[in-house]
Amino acid sequence: MQAFTIYASLGGFHGGDMLVQLFFFLLLLFLVGKFAWGPVMNMMKKREEYVASEIEAAENSRQEAEKAAKEATEQLKQTKLEAQKIIEDAKTAGVKQEQDIIESARQEAERIKKSAQQDIQNEKEKALQALQEQVASLSVLIASKVIEKELSAQDQEKLINEYIKEVGEER
Amino acid sequence: MDHGAPIVHDVFGISWLDFNLSNVFMIIVTSLIVFVLSVLGARKLQMKPTGAQNVMEWILDFVKGIVNDTMDWKTGKLFLPLALTLFTYILVGNMLGVITNGVYNGDVWWKSPTADPGITLTLAAMVILLSHFYGIKLRGGKEYVKDYFRPLPFLFPIKLIEEFANTLTLGLRLFGNLYAGEVLLSLLVGLTMTGVWGFIGGAIPFLAWQGFSIFIGGIQAFIFTMLSMVYISHKVSEEH
């Protein structure tokens, strides 16, 4: 009961209080909005924008990096292919050269062989020619000898053999 | 023990213009504390928040959550400063009365400004009037009037009463909670001063009730802000 009497005096409406409350609340609303919450809200908005732009930038750079990596891979692949091609070319060129060399060697050998055969032929012909000349002169000689003396068949044979032998020795 | 209030009657000879000077004093003190704390908190704002700025942003996010719960953000951002000021002002006002009650020359000077029905009803009436004002401003007079006949025309009288009931409940809920808290606190203070046994018996409940009053002060500030936003959203939202 005691408390009731204490606070009964506090209750009741006072027009002045209401006006003061309204005035101070509106003043507070204005001042706090201007000096405290306004700047805080601005800062939060700024941060939000900053974060958003940062995310965008990160996304962009990520995409760029991805693109660059793709390009690099592409290039590497290209280079590998090129290298492969060069090696292949070199190999075929080597094989071709080898064959060329073999071919030319074979041709050279063929040529040498041919010329050697030619030489042999020439030599042989020369020898035959020389022999023929000898034979001719010998026949003349034999004929003159036959004419000089009669010869028996035996003697003749003997003579021919002798001369043939002579010819052989002469050579 | 019988404390009175420093009331000045009929200022300037106007019959209704009475001032309870303790209320005026506490209104100014509360406003000043809220203003100083807010401005101190908003000093040295940085992209990377530290210290007081974190607290400010936490409060802002909290109140923003309240506003967001009741209406969409497009209209809600109009009322964010109002909700913030209501919340901080009522919270600080509640806490001032919980911490201590001051008596000077037999009059109670230091108490919660929100433990006075006139003050809480002023805040409530202001919120309701704002809701009407923004209801007309944002949706047009026609829609505003039509709302009184929705969803059924014969509900019009009830809708009309609802507006006054809202004002009364919004204001008196806050007043009742805070006033009851202060009554009980002063009773317990009275008990502790009756003697040794009274002190022992009164100190522990006093501590407990003070803790509970802090809790109630926070809850009531939250409820007042929440309901203010709900009433405003009823007026400004297209459909609810």
Residue numbers in B near A31 (CB within 8 A): 35
| CB pair distance less than 8 Å for A17 and B23 | yes
**B205: preceding bond cis by omega (within 30 degrees):** no
> By C-alpha distance, which of B35, B85, B80, B46 is closest to B61?
B80
User: Mean pLDDT lowest for which of A101-110, B15-24, B135-144?
Assistant: B15-24
Compare B168 and B200 and report the one with higher pLDDT. B168
B13: left (phi over 0), alpha (psi -120 to 50) or beta: left
3-state SS, residue B197: helix
User: How many Å is the maximal CA-CA distance in chain B?
Assistant: 68
3-state SS, B99-168, equals HCCEEECCEEEECCHHHCHHHHHHHHHHHHHHHHHHHHHHHCHHHHHHHHHCCCHHHHHHHHHHHHHHHH
Query: Six-digit token pair at B22?
Result: 């303790």
| CB pair distance less than 8 Å for A40 and B41 | yes
User: pLDDT grade, residue B72 (50/70/90)?
Assistant: confident
Smallest CA–CA distance from B184 into chain A, residue:
A3
The whole-angstrom separation of Cα A4 and Cα A17 is 22
> Which amino acid type is present at position B210?
Q
Which of B10, B27, B182 is the best substitution to test chain A (most A C-beta atoms within 10 A)?
A: B27
Encode pLDDT of A119-134 as tens digits: 999 999 999 998 888 8
Q: B166 and chain A: CB distance < 8 Å anywhere? A: no
| CB pair distance less than 8 Å for A24 and B45 | no
> By C-alpha distance, which of B54, B136, B121, B123 is closest to B83?
B123
User: pLDDT grade, residue B151 (50/70/90)?
Assistant: confident
Q: What is the ipTM of this complex?
A: 0.82
pLDDT at B87: 93
| CB pair distance less than 8 Å for A6 and B2 | yes
Average of per-residue pLDDT across B78-105: 84
**Could you give the dihedral angle defined by the CA atoms of residues A111, A114, A116 and A118, in that order, rounded to the nearest 10 degrees?**
-130
| CB pair distance less than 8 Å for B183 and A3 | yes
User: In Å, how far is B142's CA from the nearest CA of chain A?
Assistant: 29
pTM: 0.70
pLDDT at B3: 63
Average of per-residue pLDDT across A11-23: 78
Query: Six-digit token pair at B237?
Result: 């939202």
The whole-angstrom separation of Cα B122 and Cα B34 is 18
* Mean pLDDT score of chain A: 85
Phi and psi at B52, nearest 5°, equal -60, -35
The whole-angstrom separation of Cα B179 and Cα B117 is 9
Burial label for B74, CB within 10 Å (0-12, 13-18, 19+), is: exposed
Q: B121 and chain A: CB distance < 8 Å anywhere? A: yes
User: In Å, how far is A60's CA from the nearest CA of chain B?
Assistant: 23
Q: What is the DSSP string of B60-101?
A: HHHHHHHHHHHS-HHHHHHHHHHHHHHHHHHHHHHHHHHH--
| CB pair distance less than 8 Å for A10 and B17 | no
User: pLDDT grade, residue B57 (50/70/90)?
Assistant: confident
User: pLDDT grade, residue B239 (50/70/90)?
Assistant: low
Nearest to B19 among A12, A17, A38 (CB): A17
User: pLDDT grade, residue A149 (50/70/90)?
Assistant: low
| CB pair distance less than 8 Å for A37 and B84 | yes
Rg (CA), chain B: 21
User: pLDDT grade, residue A153 (50/70/90)?
Assistant: confident
